Protein backbone atom coordinates (compact mmCIF):
# COMPACT_ATOMS: atom_id res chain seq x y z
CA UNK A 1 0.00 0.00 0.00
CA UNK A 2 1.12 3.53 -0.62
CA UNK A 3 2.42 5.83 2.06
CA UNK A 4 0.04 8.63 2.96
CA UNK A 5 0.99 12.11 1.84
CA UNK A 6 0.72 13.14 5.49
CA UNK A 7 3.83 13.66 7.55
CA UNK A 8 4.49 13.13 11.24
CA UNK A 9 3.95 16.83 11.87
CA UNK A 10 0.41 16.49 10.48
CA UNK A 11 -0.49 13.26 12.25
CA UNK A 12 0.86 14.34 15.64
CA UNK A 13 -1.99 16.89 15.74
CA UNK A 14 -4.57 14.07 15.50
CA UNK A 15 -6.07 11.96 18.28
CA UNK A 16 -3.56 9.39 19.52
CA UNK A 17 -5.08 5.94 20.12
CA UNK A 18 -3.68 4.98 23.51
CA UNK A 19 -1.90 1.68 24.00
CA UNK A 20 0.03 1.70 20.73
CA UNK A 21 3.00 3.91 21.61
CA UNK A 22 2.27 6.75 19.17
CA UNK A 23 1.78 4.28 16.32
CA UNK A 24 -1.99 4.59 15.78
CA UNK A 25 -3.75 7.91 15.32
CA UNK A 26 -7.28 8.93 14.25
CA UNK A 27 -8.71 11.97 12.54
CA UNK A 28 -12.21 12.41 11.07
CA UNK A 29 -12.89 8.66 11.39
CA UNK A 30 -9.71 7.68 9.53
CA UNK A 31 -6.98 5.71 11.28
CA UNK A 32 -3.29 6.22 10.57
CA UNK A 33 -0.34 3.95 11.24
CA UNK A 34 2.98 5.71 11.90
CA UNK A 35 6.26 3.80 11.83
CA UNK A 36 9.95 4.18 11.14
CA UNK A 37 11.29 2.87 7.86
CA UNK A 38 14.67 2.97 6.23
CA UNK A 39 18.09 1.66 6.99
CA UNK A 40 20.86 4.02 8.04
CA UNK A 41 18.66 7.10 8.24
CA UNK A 42 15.17 5.91 9.18
CA UNK A 43 12.24 8.23 8.64
CA UNK A 44 8.76 8.30 10.07
CA UNK A 45 6.25 7.08 7.50
CA UNK A 46 2.47 7.44 7.68
CA UNK A 47 0.01 4.90 6.25
CA UNK A 48 -3.75 5.16 6.12
CA UNK A 49 -5.11 2.28 8.16
CA UNK A 50 -8.46 0.80 7.14
CA UNK A 51 -11.10 0.11 9.80
CA UNK A 52 -10.69 -3.61 9.05
CA UNK A 53 -6.95 -3.56 9.73
CA UNK A 54 -7.44 -1.49 12.86
CA UNK A 55 -10.01 -3.98 14.16
CA UNK A 56 -7.59 -6.87 13.56
CA UNK A 57 -4.93 -4.98 15.51
CA UNK A 58 -7.25 -3.81 18.27
CA UNK A 59 -8.72 -7.30 18.78
CA UNK A 60 -5.24 -8.81 19.10
CA UNK A 61 -5.69 -11.00 16.01
CA UNK A 62 -2.74 -9.25 14.35
CA UNK A 63 0.38 -7.66 15.82
CA UNK A 64 1.67 -4.20 14.91
CA UNK A 65 4.52 -5.80 12.97
CA UNK A 66 2.06 -7.94 10.97
CA UNK A 67 -0.02 -4.85 10.20
CA UNK A 68 3.13 -2.98 9.17
CA UNK A 69 4.14 -5.85 6.85
CA UNK A 70 0.64 -5.84 5.31
CA UNK A 71 0.77 -2.08 4.78
CA UNK A 72 4.24 -2.25 3.18
CA UNK A 73 3.67 -5.30 0.99
CA UNK A 74 -0.10 -5.52 0.48
CA UNK A 75 0.07 -9.11 1.71
CA UNK A 76 0.29 -10.77 5.10
CA UNK A 77 3.65 -12.00 6.32
CA UNK A 78 4.33 -15.65 5.52
CA UNK A 79 3.27 -18.24 8.08
CA UNK A 80 5.85 -20.53 9.65
CA UNK A 81 4.65 -23.32 7.35
CA UNK A 82 5.15 -21.09 4.30
CA UNK A 83 8.64 -20.14 5.51
CA UNK A 84 9.58 -23.82 5.92
CA UNK A 85 8.15 -24.67 2.51
CA UNK A 86 10.14 -21.86 0.88
CA UNK A 87 13.32 -22.92 2.71
CA UNK A 88 12.83 -26.54 1.60
CA UNK A 89 12.38 -25.47 -2.02
CA UNK A 90 15.55 -23.37 -1.86
CA UNK A 91 17.59 -26.21 -0.35
CA UNK A 92 16.26 -28.68 -2.93
CA UNK A 93 17.63 -26.36 -5.63
CA UNK A 94 20.96 -26.13 -3.78
CA UNK A 95 21.28 -29.46 -1.91
CA UNK A 96 24.95 -28.89 -1.00
CA UNK A 97 23.51 -26.77 1.80
CA UNK A 98 22.67 -30.06 3.54
CA UNK A 99 26.42 -30.76 3.73
CA UNK A 100 27.73 -27.28 4.57
CA UNK A 101 24.93 -26.45 7.03
CA UNK A 102 23.83 -29.58 8.93
CA UNK A 103 21.10 -27.60 10.71
CA UNK A 104 19.29 -27.32 7.39
CA UNK A 105 18.50 -31.05 7.58
CA UNK A 106 16.07 -30.66 10.46
CA UNK A 107 13.21 -29.50 8.26
CA UNK A 108 13.30 -32.66 6.13
CA UNK A 109 11.91 -36.09 6.87
CA UNK A 110 14.21 -39.12 6.80
CA UNK A 111 12.62 -40.16 3.49
CA UNK A 112 13.37 -36.77 1.96
CA UNK A 113 16.96 -36.92 3.24
CA UNK A 114 17.41 -40.41 1.77
CA UNK A 115 16.73 -38.83 -1.62
CA UNK A 116 18.57 -35.51 -1.14
CA UNK A 117 21.74 -36.46 0.74
CA UNK A 118 23.24 -38.62 -2.07
CA UNK A 119 22.62 -35.78 -4.52
CA UNK A 120 24.16 -33.27 -2.10
CA UNK A 121 27.21 -35.46 -1.50
CA UNK A 122 27.73 -36.01 -5.22
CA UNK A 123 27.50 -32.29 -5.98
CA UNK A 124 29.77 -31.39 -3.05
CA UNK A 125 32.43 -33.86 -4.18
CA UNK A 126 32.13 -32.60 -7.76
CA UNK A 127 32.72 -29.03 -6.54
CA UNK A 128 35.33 -29.53 -3.81
CA UNK A 129 36.90 -32.90 -4.61
CA UNK A 130 35.87 -34.50 -1.32
CA UNK A 131 33.43 -34.18 1.54
CA UNK A 132 34.43 -32.03 4.55
CA UNK A 133 36.69 -33.71 7.14
CA UNK A 134 34.09 -33.39 9.89
CA UNK A 135 31.15 -34.53 7.74
CA UNK A 136 28.93 -37.29 9.06
CA UNK A 137 26.13 -38.55 6.88
CA UNK A 138 22.72 -38.37 8.52
CA UNK A 139 21.84 -41.62 6.75
CA UNK A 140 24.26 -43.81 8.74
* Domain boundary pick from 39, 58, 73: 73
25, 65: one domain: yes
Tens digit of each residue's pLDDT (9 = 90 or more) over 73-98: 999 999 999 999 999 999 999 999 99
Q: Tell me how many domains the chain contains.
A: 2
Residue at which a domain ends, from 58, 73, 88:
73
pLDDT band for position 1 (50/70/90)?
low
Q: Are 1 and 47 in contact (CB under 8 A)?
A: yes
**Is 134 among the domain residues?**
no
54: confidence class by pLDDT, cuts 50, 70, 90: very high
Q: Which of 73, 105, 120 is the last residue of a domain?
A: 73
Q: Domain span at residue 15?
A: 8-73
Decide: 4 and 10 in contact? Cβ < 8 Å: no
- Report pTM: 0.71
Same domain, 36 and 16: yes
Torsion, Cα 82 85 89 90, to 10 degrees, reads 60
- Residues 14, 51 within the same domain: yes
d(CA 15, CA 18): 9
Amino acid sequence: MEHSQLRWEDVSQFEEIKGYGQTIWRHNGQYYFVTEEGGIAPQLVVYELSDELFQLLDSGQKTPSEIHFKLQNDTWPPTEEEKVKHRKEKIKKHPMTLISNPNSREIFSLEELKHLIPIAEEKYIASYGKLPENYTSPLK
